[in-house]
Amino acid sequence: MLFSAIQDVKSTKFKTEYSYRRITILFKMKVFEINHKRVLRIMR
């Protein structure tokens, strides 16, 4: 679930490339309580 959510954010439908920090903030504002290190690991 988390992996697919990150892939959606990283997909080409968004005009800018999001960094792991920005994705972490995005998820914290939505639903997920997630650590930035986990987002970085999944994005690699």
Total domains present in the chain: 1
Provide the total of helices (H) and of strands (E) in the chain, helices listed first.
3, 0
Q: Is the dihedral of CA 14, 19, 24, 25 positive or negative?
A: negative
- Domain holding 18, by residue range, is 2-43
State yes or no: pLDDT of 32 exceeds 70: yes
Instruction: Enter the pTM of the model.
Output: 0.63
- 40 has pLDDT over 80: yes
Mean pLDDT of 5-26: 76
pLDDT at 38 over 80: yes
The span from the CA of 33 to the CA of 13, in Å, is 25
Phi and psi (nearest 5°) for 7?
Answer: -65, -35
**Residue 15: predicted pLDDT:** 61
